Copies of this chain bind each other. A is one copy, B any other.
Amino acid sequence: MANVFGNCIKLSIFGESHSDAIGVVLDGLPAGLPLDMDAVLAEMARRAPGQNRFSTPRKEADAPKIVSGLFQGKTTGTPLCALIENTNTRSKDYQPELLRPAHADYTAFMRYHGFSDYRGGGHFSGRLTAPLVFAGAVLKPYLAAQGIEIFAHIKSLGKEKDAVFNTISPDIEAYRNIQNRELALLDENLIPSFAKVIDNAKENSDSVGGVIEALITGVPAGLGSPFFESVESRLSAMLFSVPAVKGVEFGTGFGITELFGSQANDAFCLEKGEIKTKTNHNGGINGGITNGMPLSFSVAVKPTPSIAKPQQTVNIETQTEETIAIHGRHDPCIVPRAVCVIEAAATIVMADLLLEAKTYAEPATERN
């Protein structure tokens, strides 16, 4: 019901924070796609905790083990299943009866009638984004071979703002460097001030959120469909699957509501014989379908719900109000680690859209 995504590539994720393993099944992958495990591990390392001073010191051995669908280094086209074992877990950190505010403890209890695995957030753990990152890493070369690249950066942390992508003539070379920085910012000079936002939150036993902006370059015109299968619908359904995402906007997004039509309408022009737009307030999408301009969107990531600061809550067993302070190893800000998750989520959707587009790539007859 809940854990299968995609029209052409069916992605099925499973696992709990403290189960034997978490993992993913990818069905409908193109056959013959080479899988470079080093590249996959590099992507997964971006998400893994303990990579730098901004994230929890908890180390996870996140090496995925591929149990099917790969033969002689290439995808077979039949379902590829990858497992990521759960090893470094400390169950004693959790008291299931105390509902952690802004976590899924209460909603999971209601949804699954008390049978869900509550240890470490169970199936709702942010750890479940690792299979997404794996899937994105597998599909990244498939997009690359078609000239499509996906970039993301931290657009803001708290009230601190980074520069924004150029959505008309993106500086792809520069954007490729973003992920090598200590924090994924366009403007390197802002790293200290962004770092300070995180450090302050940490010192206060608190947490902070931010906005991630993404850009997809090399997208052909004519991808996607009207209404329920619009590119916006497809991407947003996937992006809102990522825990902590509370907003998604395309192009100028909410800002477009403060423009006049004469400003917001991206005028068409010809550039070396190709139809382009002079601005890109619509984020590369008109009527749910790509228009050949770079695709741009932003997502709002809420502050990490786990904080050491005391919070009021309810004990679900005793039905009394209590105070909770969540100790243990938690990121004061998950935005830096979420950057590659957003890239992966977008990669999965774009790969699915590209495969689906083959079904409408040609008309039944030629137009005169």
Contacts and interface: CB of A to CB of B under 8 A. Distances in A.
Nearest to A23: B81
A237 B241 CA distance: 11
Given A33-B364, A113-B31, A261-B303, A76 B358 contact: no
A341 interface: no
A112 B364 CA distance: 10
A258 B256 CA distance: 20
A294 interface: no
A167 interface: no
A8 B1 contact: yes
Interface stretch (A56-64, A174-182, A277-285): A277-285
Residue among A156, A211, A253, A298 with most chain B CB within 10 A: A253
Given A32-B364, A103-B286, A262-B311, 17 more contacts: A1-B356, A15-B81, A16-B76, A25-B25, A30-B362, A30-B363, A31-B115, A71-B115, A74-B364, A78-B116, A106-B268, A107-B288, A111-B224, A112-B360, A206-B260, A209-B264, A358-B358
- 9 closest cross-chain pairs (CB), A and B: A104-B287, A2-B225, A247-B249, A207-B261, A110-B222, A32-B363, A14-B79, A107-B289, A261-B303
Contacts of A110: 221-222, 289, 291-292
Contact of A34 (B2, B5, B34, B365): B365
A313 interface: yes
Contact of A241 (B3, B230, B268, B306): B230
A246 B237 contact: no
Given A102-B282, A113-B31, A78 B122 contact: yes
